[in-house]
Amino acid sequence: MTLRQLEILRAVVRYRTTVAAARQLGLSQPAVSNALKTMEAQAGFALFERINNRLFPTREAQELYAQAEAIFAHHDLFATKLRDLKESRAGQLRIVATPPIGYGIIPAALKRFLAERPQVRVFFDVRRYEGVVESVETSLAELGFALGLEAHPTLHSEAVFAGEMVCVMKPGHPLAKKKIVSATDMRDHPFIALERGTRLGEAVRDAFSKAGAPFRFAVEVRYCNTACVLADSGVGIAVVDPFSPFAGNGYGLVTRPFAPTTRAVAYATWSTARPLSRLAQAFLAEVHASARALGPRPAAAASSS
C-alpha cells in the first residue's frame, strides 16, 4: 500500500463512513470508495464490514491501522525535522571569537538566537586572534569573529560592524569633561596601554605617533577587557575598542571619542572549503542585529578570500 492509501485507511477507520473520510482528506466520496476497493483487491481480503451505512474495520484492518499509526508518527517526526532544518531550529553550531566581540557582541546574539531554537546546541569559546583563525581553518569552528581580521587565502571574511577606539575613565576624571580626548590630552595622566605587537596595541601606538604625543604607560595589558577593569579600579585611563566598555553589565566607565580617529572593524570569518550552514547564516544575522543595537555604525558589506 502507498502512504496515500494508508492515509485513506486511517481516515475511514476513524470516521466510519466514506463521506466523513472524504471530507477530512479533501477528496470526493467516490475517490475514497474506489481507493478502498483497490486496497481490498491488493490485500486479498476484506478490510471493512458494512453495517447500516457504516464501515467497521476487520481485525486485519485494525492491525494495519496500528502499523499505519507508527508509520505516520515517524513521518511526522521526519516532517518536523525537515521544517527545523529549513528554519534553522535544530543542529549544532561551533563559534569562536576574540575577547572584545566574544564578551561584547556574541552574548546578546546568542540569547536571541537560542530563544527561538531550543533544539540547537552551541559550542562557544573566546580565544586570541591566532586561535580564532586556526580554529576556523581546521574546522574546529564554523564561524569565527575577530577585530581587524587580515586576508587569508583559505578564509572568507565579512565586515559585520565597525566603530572607533574610545577613551575610558572613571566618572569624575578630569578628562571626562572633554567631548573628545586626544592623545596629547593624556600626557599627564596614568595610562593603561594595550600590549605591543597586538593589532589594537599597535593601532593606538600609531595614533599617538601621528599626533606627535609621547607614548608613556603605567600598565600594559593584552586585552581591552583587562584595561577596562583597571580603569574602573582607578588605575588610569585607557584607549580600547568600542565594545569592551559595555561587555556584560558594563563597568560604569565614562567613554569619550579618541583622537586621532582609530578604526576598529570586526569581521566574521569562515572556511572557503565549505559554505555556511543555514544555522550559521541565521546566527550571523543575529550578530548583525546585535551590532546595530550596540550603537557602532555598521561597516559596509565586505568580503575577502
Q: Where residue 11 sits, what CATH number does that domain have?
A: 1.10.10.10
**Residue numbers of the domain that contains 62:** 3-80
Identify the helix (H) or strand (E) that includes residue 270: strand 263-271
Domain-ending residue, one of 54, 80, 106: 80
Which pLDDT belongs to residue 10? 84
| Judgement on whether residues 279 and 156 belong to the same structural domain of the protein | yes
Taking the CB of residue 82, how many other CB atoms lie within 10 A of it? Answer: 11
| Judgement on whether residues 189 and 235 belong to the same structural domain of the protein | yes
C-alpha cell at 44: 486479498
d(CA 54, CA 66): 20
Q: Is the peptide bond before 260 cis (omega within 30 degrees of 0)?
A: yes
Q: How many domains does the chain divide into?
A: 3
Q: What residues in the chain have per-residue pLDDT under 50?
A: 296-305
- Residue from 271, 293, 232 nearest 109 by CA: 293
d(CA 255, CA 179): 10
**CATH of residue 247:** 3.40.190.10
Q: Quote the pTM value.
A: 0.66
Which pLDDT belongs to residue 18? 87
C-alpha cell at 302: 565586505
| Judgement on whether residues 275 and 256 belong to the same structural domain of the protein | no
| Judgement on whether residues 201 and 155 belong to the same structural domain of the protein | no
- Residue from 243, 264, 269, 265 nearest 158 by CA: 269
**Strand 219-221 relative to strand 191-194, pairing:** parallel
Contacts of 197 (CB under 8 A, 6+ apart): none
| Cβ atoms 257, 274 nearer than 8 A | no
Which pLDDT belongs to residue 46? 86
| Judgement on whether residues 14 and 45 belong to the same structural domain of the protein | yes
Q: Is residue 104 part of a domain?
A: yes
What amino acid is encoded at 279 in this protein?
A: L
Which pLDDT belongs to residue 162? 84
| Judgement on whether residues 62 and 206 belong to the same structural domain of the protein | no
Which pLDDT belongs to residue 252? 85
Q: Looking up cell 586585552, which residue turns up?
A: 223
| Judgement on whether residues 113 and 238 belong to the same structural domain of the protein | no
Identify the helix (H) or strand (E) that includes residue 58: none
